[in-house]
Amino acid sequence: MEFSQYNVNSLMYITPRPEIVFTEGSGMWLTDNNGKRYLDYLQGWAVNCLGHSPAVITDALIAQSKKLLNPSPAFYNGPMVELATQLTQHSCFDRVFFTNSGAEANEGAIKLARKWGQLNKNGAFEIITFDHGFHGRTLATMSASGKPGWDKLFAPQVSGFPKADLNDIASVEALITDKTVGVMLEPVQGEGGVIPATREFMQALRALTKKHGILLIVDEVQSGMGRTGELFGYQLSGIEPDIMTLAKGIGGGVPLGALLCKEAVACFVPGDQGGTYNGGPLMTAVGIAVLKELTTPGFLDSVKEKAQYLSDELNKLSAEFGMQGERGEGLLRALKLGDNIGPQIVEAARNMEPVGLLLNSPRPDLLRFMPALNVTKEELDQMLRMLREVLKQVKK
């Protein structure tokens, strides 16, 4: 079907979109309304950790949808209990609350920390967050985010989120008062431009928060579920946070998130937290299927190997075209372009023929790569060849 036959103006305009409509996806590939194929390095924004429509997910959806869709959040269901059990077995956390998105998981983390502050810290409620951090698009999570301009966008903000600088422990310490209940950060700032918190910073944050008796909250919506080569990003630095949030990868493409905490922090009582769809068996059944793949022996090792390969090859491209190197953790990486040519590269790559390449430029001087974690070396090579062609055009 021609693009002009789609009445896209019945949608709210929230972002400029190219004039194509995607109709099918398989693994690292997407197909549009004209039958053109694209090698996809967005994967639903680091969501499709096993690629588009993997059999393990479609099988789980079909099987569960024939058994039970939604008994109500007032009752237990099998997949909800099973996935919570497995997440606690694979992490340092003891309790899980399921959500439908990352923002909702973070909103829950903020509520949990404030409740804990009421019970244990004289009503302390401030959560120190970071400049350029991203925690979602609800009012509280936008306020917790450090995106330039967001403090004015839907003013007034939810108060209580002073901002520190990532990888600068003194900037955090300077903000701690008797109102502080915790510190929240992404182990790798994703939307901010793929900026990893250093191992030393994460360890210093753990020591500092322990010293002051406040909570360490990690937003692993983007860095969790194998993305960094460890199952969770906090494991890179060998620390144990008090609260963690997950979304994106945990559903492999379906809306699923989670709020996890240590037993000592699990202070919600009936009435504090809930939601109609939270912990429904259809989505948690998918979470079980995804986690099973990620924890198959050898899977995370292969993520680490491919991450090293991608990092080495991006550095070679950078040297060849006089760019500024690359950074990231695991299969969440960014190429530092040196010039504001990101949007131009994204467009030229998408328009390549006969197949296009889908890339993301979170900042104009940066390209971000978030392939499926089961991407093959051949699919990495094909992307690198296509990117090299585009760079030859754009850089000449």
Ligand X SMILES: *Cc1c(COP(=O)(O)O)cnc(C)c1O
Across the beta sheet with 126-130, what order do the strands follow? 95-99, 257-261, 243-246, 215-219, 180-185, 126-130, 163-164
Residue 323 or 334 with smaller CB distance to ligand X = 334
Q: How many CB atoms lie within 10 A of CB 117?
A: 23
Residues near 160 by Cβ (< 8 Å), separated by ≥ 6?
A: 125, 126, 127, 143, 179
Residue 163 falls in which region: left (phi positive, over 0), alpha (psi -120 to 50) or beta: beta
135 binds ligand X (CB under 6 A): yes
User: Which residues, 6+ apart, have CB-to-CB distance to 349 below 8 Å?
Assistant: 356, 357, 358, 359, 386, 387, 390
Q: Which residues pair with 279 in a beta bridge?
A: none
Count other Cβ atoms within 10 Å, centred on residue 321.
16
- Facing residues of 39 across strands? 29, 357
Distance CA 243, CA 261 (A): 4
Residue 337 Cβ vs ligand X, minimum distance, rounded to whole Å: 21
The amino acid sitting at 294 is L
**Binding segment (CB under 6 A) for ligand X, from list 167-175, 194-202, 215-223, 287-295:** 215-223
Using CB under 6 A as the binding rule, whether residue 329 contacts ligand X is answered as: no
CB of 246 or CB of 323, closer to ligand X = 246
Q: Does the protein bind ligand X through residue 278 (CB under 6 A)?
A: no
With contacts defined by CB under 6 A, name the span among 18-26, 62-70, 132-140, 317-325 that binds ligand X: 132-140
How many Cβ atoms are within 10 Å of 345's Cβ, its own excluded? 22
Among positions 32, 40, 126, 219, the unique one binding ligand X when judged by CB under 6 A: 219
Beta carbon nearer to ligand X, 102 or 356:
102
* Dihedral in degrees, nearest 10, Cα atoms 236, 242, 248, 254: 130
Instruction: Output 147-155 pairs: Cβ under 8 A, ≥24 positions apart.
Output: 147/191, 147/192
Asked whether the CA dihedral 49, 51, 57, 62 is positive or negative, the reply is positive
Is residue 190 within the footprint of ligand X (CB under 6 A)?
A: yes
Residues between 33 and 72 with contacts to ligand X, criterion CB under 6 A: none
Binding of residue 134 to ligand X (CB under 6 A) = yes
Q: Cβ closer to ligand X: 190 or 280? A: 190
**Stretch of 130-138, 169-177, 225-233, 373-381 lying at the interface with ligand X (CB under 6 A):** 130-138
Does position 186 bind ligand X by CB under 6 A?
Answer: yes
Query: What mask, x for binding ligand X by CB under 6 A, covers residues 246 to 275?
Result: -xx---------------------------
Q: C-alpha 140: how far from its chain's center?
A: 18
Phi, psi angles (nearest 5°) of residue 369: -115, 125
Q: Is 25 in the site for ligand X (CB under 6 A)?
A: no
Contact region with ligand X (CB under 6 A), list: 27-35, 51-59, 184-192, 271-279: 184-192
Stretch that binds ligand X, among 167-175, 202-210, 214-222, 385-393 (CB under 6 A): 214-222
Interacting span for ligand X (CB under 6 A) from 7-15, 219-227, 303-311, 350-358: 219-227
| Cβ-closest position to ligand X | 102
Q: Is 107 in the site for ligand X (CB under 6 A)?
A: no
Structure tokens at 396: 């000449």
Nearer to ligand X, 284 or 318 (CB): 284
Shortest Å, Cβ 9 to ligand X: 24
Helices (H) and strands (E) in the chain, counts: 12, 16
What is the smallest separation between the CB atom of 102 and ligand X, expressed in angstroms?
2
Kindly tell me which residue out of 54, 79, 108, 136 binds ligand X, with binding defined by CB under 6 A.
Answer: 136
Selected range binding ligand X among 31-39, 133-141, 275-283, 347-355, rule: CB under 6 A: 133-141
- Taking the complex as a whole, the smallest distance from the CB of residue 91 to ligand X amounts, in Å, to 17
Write out the residues near ligand X by the rule CB under 6 A: 101-103, 106, 134-136, 186, 190-191, 219, 221-222, 247-248
